[in-house]
Amino acid sequence: MSPIIAIVAHTDKNRFDMPAVSIPTAYTQAVEKAGGIPLILPFTGNSDLLPRMAAHADGFLFPGGFDMDPAYFNEAPLPELGRVNRELDVFQVAAFETAMEMKKPVLGICRGAQLINVALGGSLFQDIASQFGEPVLDHMQKQIHFGTDHPVEITRGSRLFGMFGSGIMVNSRHHQSVKDPGAGLRITAKSPDGVVEALEHTALPIDLVQWHPELMMLGNQAMAPLFSAFVRSCKGGSAV
């Protein structure tokens, strides 16, 4: 039986300038291709509703999006900080805490990875270019495309290594990244300049990637092992 994957929604303005739930269809398509059933978990300001809303989900996907409010990791905002949405942060952190209490598999992508890291007590570089030093890569590619931008080196023995081996080419569309890993997380991949590209939880089925595998899936099947492993873990099987 196909597992139900709750994709945790964002909020944005629609063409009438009204608040609306927002999820790029690339995420739902990637879940479907991997054999899962996507279900949008909509924004709510009432976190008490989340356990009932999430009750039928077999796994949770946290997508990319806005910057995280640095107040969550006890920092003042830098001038380079992008758009933030405090209400969205509160909702998505509560949704992650619900998923963790349910001990269901979680996949975090880009902002989703950063948010989960912060929810577990970690911190972020608010802006790689101004904080990281002299990165050799431009991590914030302006053009959305379905190809790749740079390699990542994967840690031997990690779940990611079981999917892809020692390295893979990925895309890059982010100006923030993990600085200090949250509790229970270990780094599983880095780009050539040392920027953290992936993490996994050592005790729970939580996997985080900084790149956008859902966009790569629109161009080819290179990221199919990631989504297939996630969907398989949501069935109660092995994650690798």
State the amino acid at position 143 in one-letter form: Q
Q: Tens digits of per-residue pLDDT, 189-198?
A: 999 999 999 9
pLDDT of 239 = 42
Which one of 139, 175, 214, 234 is the catalytic residue? 214
Which one of 110, 174, 175, 201 is the catalytic residue? 110
b/e per residue, 119-158, with b = 16+ CB within 10 A? bbebbbbbbbeebeeebebebeeeeeeeebbbebebbeeb
pLDDT band with cut points at 50, 70 and 90 for residue 101: very high
| Domains of the chain as residue ranges with CATH | 4-234 (3.40.50.880)
pLDDT band with cut points at 50, 70 and 90 for residue 132: confident
Q: What is the value of pTM for the model shown?
A: 0.95
pLDDT of 141 = 83
* Catalytic annotation present for 97: no
* Catalytic annotation present for 234: no
Q: Tens digits of per-residue pLDDT, 156-174?
A: 999 999 999 999 999 999 9
* Catalytic annotation present for 214: yes
pLDDT of 240 = 38
pLDDT of 238 = 40
**Residue 119 near residue 106 (C-beta atoms within 8 A):** no
**Residue 122 near residue 182 (C-beta atoms within 8 A):** yes
pLDDT band with cut points at 50, 70 and 90 for residue 143: confident
For residue 209, what are the β-bridge partners?
Answer: 109, 198
**Residue 11 near residue 87 (C-beta atoms within 8 A):** yes
| Measured CA distances, 144 to 54, 164, 174, 176, 219 (Å) | 31, 24, 11, 17, 12
Which one of 10, 174, 175, 212 is the catalytic residue? 212
